[in-house]
Chain A
Amino acid sequence: MPSDSGTAERPERRAPEAGGTPVAPGTSSPRAPVTLSLDGLEKKVLAGEGNFLWRIPFAGGTDGFAVLKVYYGSRSSLLYMKKTLGNLLLTGRTSQMPRARFRHEVASVRLWEKHGFRCFGMHPEVRVAGLPDEGYMLYDWTPGRHFREYFKDAAVPLEERLAMWRRWVPEWHRRHMIAVREREPMLIHENGDVKHVMLWQGGFTYFDFEICFRSRNVRDLVGREILAYMRSAGKFFGDELYERLMDELVAHYPDKTLLLAAWEHAFANDNPVIRVGRWLDVRLKPRHHSKYSKYGVARDLKRRLDAASLTRGS
């Protein structure tokens, strides 16, 4: 069980407004150190492959719980190393090694919160006996609704769901705009899709930041992220809702040129080597011909942006 000091009163966390009011610094936890022992603790397993993720009792946490994320998962060191090599040498991502994932996640959460994007609150003052330093983090238990569940829920009127999407789209754009302006790849959601955004206390909460991109061509990364979100929207929500969400996205995402970056990511990369690679990719892999492949979604977005343009080609 958590020690008594774990019950210390925590500062109030504020949900960012749709416009993006920055979350107050130090939102995650009190400063007083706390040491937990996992022995005899009632743990509910939430995930257990790349990481171990447990919901544990935590005095002062939401509903009396917190989430312990241990970055040393069930994978072998060899597999972590293999994935790290792929990330560093091929895909332009950060390391897969547990401590590196810990460091990137903590840094990303701090950066996102600094810019007013709400993430799971952290408790860096909590130590867990028996676990290596920089190998774990205790997060607030956040029992919100994932986008994936919310938008599929037929019990919520369609107009209400679309209104929620319209409220989220400007916040999404604001993050992209800041990322491009500051050339900050950590503001791009590497694993971004409708599974990693949650509705909580009237705002949006983001999670899963263990891996980041390293490229400073952030515009291209924005394009990639837009495709990833919309592909997942198509896969999880089905054709009908996808069409509506796409319509709303093109209508309400302010900077259309950033939306166009999604098409540029797939078909018009600045780097000719990548462009040729993608040209081969789309032709050689049958799965890239599907509607919700990144190329399919990119073409769809381009078609909609062309239709929304007051002029074409003049």
Chain B
Amino acid sequence: MPKAAAARELLRLDGNRIWRVQTAHGPVLQKLYAERGSWLHAWGRELASRLRGGKTGTRAAARRATEARLLALWREQGFDVPAELSARHPELAGPRTLVLEFVDGPLLSALLADPALPRSRREALIERFAADTAKRHARALSLGEAALVQEHGGVQHVLVAAPAGAAWTEAASRPVSALRFASFDLENSFRARRNLSPLLAKEIAACLRSLARCSKSDAQRLRSDVEAFVRGYADRSRLQASVAHYLRHPSPVWRAVWAFDRRREARRDRPHGKYALLAVLDGVLRAGLR
């Protein structure tokens, strides 16, 4: 970072901070929710978000409240997330902070990006991730609960760890089924709505994009990763519905919106564009699984 930019950086607090804190009961995370950008920027983003009406608040206090609520909800529904420990550590908790369980393990995205990871292990990790996602989507649909759809879905928001607090170093070689897959970053969410299918399609597209980032532009590897995702997700009809939502929407209005968005994406020349990845998924679904 240039010197002037670094000096400016020291004059403002832009975005969250997460610190690891050692306590008498072991390490925990102290997460501070801070505004992003200037007050005008934060206020404008909140206004735009409210006008669109689809998501929870973007201001720091709203994000803290959303994360506390979602951590409790996901846990109650049996989905693995870091425990919220503010009540156990009142000395670290506050109106701008939450105290979270420290999950000792790497990001799933970091594991998948490791070129030394054997293909069978990589695919097993992706299958497990997809299976957990499918289970959560099924629960979201059955309960009509939009908060069970992850707004920032993807392998970059999953920590892989040993169960029951064991150290990751001891767990790295365990079977994938014996590992914890703890999702995090739940500070933004969708507001309640009747039809959850578009939200599921959005999260599935985000998952594919996160896998594509790990494949490092290796088309062959990306395809095998998407195949593993399809095997793990299992519910092909829901995957097909997600593809159809973006590539073959029944409404001409939405088809026009996506066509416009697609051209914009092509102009940006993104290596991991949503539409290109959904086309890969479409191809895998049409070809059938190996």
Chain B interface residue count, CB cutoff 8 Å, equals: 25
> A267, B11: Cβ atoms under 8 Å?
yes
Given known A313-B14, A314-B16, contact A260–B32 (CB-CB < 8 A): yes
Residue B193 lies at the interface, judged by CB distance under 8 Å to chain A: no
Closest to A174 in B: B91
Residue A311 lies at the interface, judged by CB distance under 8 Å to chain B: yes
> A311, B17: Cβ atoms under 8 Å?
yes
List CB contacts (< 8 Å) of A278-312 with chain B: 299, 302-303, 305-306, 308-312
Residue A34 lies at the interface, judged by CB distance under 8 Å to chain B: no
Q: Report the minimum CB–CB distance from B241 to chain A (whole Å).
A: 31
Closest to B29 in A: A310
In the complex, what distance in Å separates the CA atom of A263 from the CA atom of B13? 10
Mask, B256-286, CB within 8 Å of A = 1, is 0000000000000000000000000000000
In the complex, what distance in Å separates the CA atom of A174 from the CA atom of B24? 14
In the complex, what distance in Å separates the CA atom of A311 from the CA atom of B22? 17
The 8 Å CB contact of A177, one of B13, B16, B91, is B91
Residue A268 lies at the interface, judged by CB distance under 8 Å to chain B: yes
> B92, A255: Cβ atoms under 8 Å?
yes
How many A-B contacts are there with CB distance less than 8 Å? 62
Given known A256-B30, A257-B96, contact A305–B91 (CB-CB < 8 A): no
Which residues in B have their C-beta under 8 angstroms from that of A174? 91
Residue B20 lies at the interface, judged by CB distance under 8 Å to chain A: yes
The 8 Å CB contact of B94, one of A257, A312, A313, A314, is A257
Which residues in A have their C-beta under 8 angstroms from that of B9? 306
Given known A255-B30, A255-B92, A257-B97, contact A309–B19 (CB-CB < 8 A): yes
In the complex, what distance in Å separates the CA atom of A82 from the CA atom of B97? 42
Closest to A254 in B: B21
Q: Report the minimum CB–CB distance from A279 to chain B (whole Å).
A: 10
Residues of B within 8 A of A (CB): 9-23, 29-30, 32, 36, 91-92, 94, 96-97, 185
A selection of 19 A-B contacts at a CB cut-off of 8 Å is: A254-B23, A255-B91, A256-B21, A256-B30, A257-B32, A260-B13, A260-B17, A267-B11, A267-B12, A268-B13, A299-B10, A309-B17, A309-B18, A309-B19, A310-B29, A312-B17, A313-B16, A314-B15, A314-B16
